[in-house]
Amino acid sequence: MFRTLAGIWRHAIAPVGYDLLVGVAVVAMRGTLAHRLDTLRPKSGMTGYDAIRQNSLTALADYAARAIVLDIGSPDGEVSGAG
């Protein structure tokens, strides 16, 4: 169990792919964007579209998140349907 910055106690049952800062869920997108990486956090300079989708949906369902910010630091990536 841990305490968020908003002062809400949570159970750490499964890792989430975003940071919760004062009621704002921050979904990080770093490096090259790729179709599938099977990880929730940016890894090896890449972020998967599957992770972005899952992290956004999880943040939407989080009662402690009052807003969602997409923190984008990506120079390029795969275009959907090209591959």
Question: 9-46, pLDDT tens digit by residue?
Answer: 554 445 678 888 888 999 988 888 888 767 667 667 78
Neighbouring residues of 74: CB distance < 8 A, sequence distance ≥ 6: 29, 30, 31, 32, 33, 47
d(CA 62, CA 6): 13
Domain boundary assignment for the chain: 2-73
Instruction: Kindly report the length of the chain.
Output: 83
- What pTM, to 2 d.p., does this model score? 0.70
d(CA 75, CA 45): 11
Q: How confident is the model at residue 69 (pLDDT cuts 50, 70, 90)?
A: very high
Q: Are 66 and 59 in contact (CB under 8 A)?
A: no
